[in-house]
Structure 1
Amino acid sequence: MKLLMITGLLTLVATMAEADPATIAQTAKGATYVDAAGMTLYTFAKDGPGTSACEGTCAKNWPPFAASASDHASGEWTVIQRSDGLRQWAYEGHPLYTWIKDAAPGDITGDGFLDGAWQVAQP
């Protein structure tokens, strides 16, 4: 019985560790990645692969989708190290952000901002 419980617990921990950091929700743009609170995630066209160009005031308005020290890459999901020392999730090499003007889950008010440089993150 103990062995079965330990095996089940290890399977649960392994499954949790491999879970994607974001989920998919339906927005006005269709299937869109969202954070745990249901807030839309965005990409920024000025970012390089695995590198964030959004710093300072930009990062205050577009908070990076934070990764913890224990988070690790899995498939299309990677963790980048920002110049400010924080860790940030990226999808297919594109760093992800939320937008402070989105007030509720499913809002996509940042889509197309800055002449289209900001786009909702979609699978």
Structure 2
Amino acid sequence: MNILSLLSALLLAGVFLGACGIEEVEENPNSDQVEVSKKEMESSTEKAAEKSSSLELMEHQSVGDFLTDADGRALYYFANDEPGTSNCSGECLENWPPFYAEHLNDVPQNFNKDDFGTITREDTEDKQTTYKGYPLYYFVKDESPGDVHGQGVKDLWYIVNSDTTFK
């Protein structure tokens, strides 16, 4: 009877912990993809939209200068996008949340403020900031200011700088 009581207690503990909303970010070792909860992704994107009213230029040893939000988070473009259209949706957005800044007050030297705009995403109806028409994204594996872990992922994701030529 003690074993049955122990198993029941463990089962109840598991149900209780599951109900508490504990979420994990799991990494698949065979992929450049990361699984992130939708709630976490939305929270990250909302916070970025609230704070990001200026863009910065940072430098990294391996990629040179690159565009960031006001917090130093790298901004990327997706080579499969087209001007005015995002082709990243569903699972793609879990790893590459859209960047949105309602009002860009400042852009770095060598950038033209008129090259920045917004689109309304067809899948979510959310706004997304663009550079020369191409939607901008974050990468979830960039955890600290100045990280550029998304550069060159699957030969489709690239940082943005004033010399960017869209593929």
TM value normalised by structure 1 = 0.75
Structure 2 residue 142 is the aligned partner of structure 1 residue 102: yes
Alignment match, 1:35: 69
State the percentage of identical aligned residues: 38
Q: Residues of 2 paired with 1:21 and 1:45: CA distance?
A: 24
Alignment match, 1:22: 55
Unaligned 5+ segments in structure 1 are 1-19
Structure 2 counterpart of 1:22, one-letter code: L
Q: Residues of 1 paired with 2:136 and 2:56: CA distance?
A: 13
Structure 1 counterpart of 2:119, one-letter code: I
Alignment match, 2:78: 44
Structure 2 residue 131 is the aligned partner of structure 1 residue 91: yes
Alignment match, 2:88: 54
Structure 2 counterpart of 1:122, one-letter code: N
Alignment: residue pair count: 100
Deviation at 1:21, TM superposition (A): 4.1
Q: SS at 2:92's partner residue?
A: helix
Higher relative contact order (CA 8 A, sep 6+): 1
The 4+ residue runs of structure 1 with deviation greater than 6 A are none
Structure 2 residue 135 is the aligned partner of structure 1 residue 80: no
Deviation at 1:58, TM superposition (A): 0.7
Structure 2 residue 105 is the aligned partner of structure 1 residue 65: no
Unaligned 5+ segments in structure 2 are 1-52, 105-112, 163-167
TM value normalised by structure 2 = 0.56
Larger radius of gyration: 2
Q: Residues of 1 paired with 2:125 and 2:95: CA distance?
A: 18
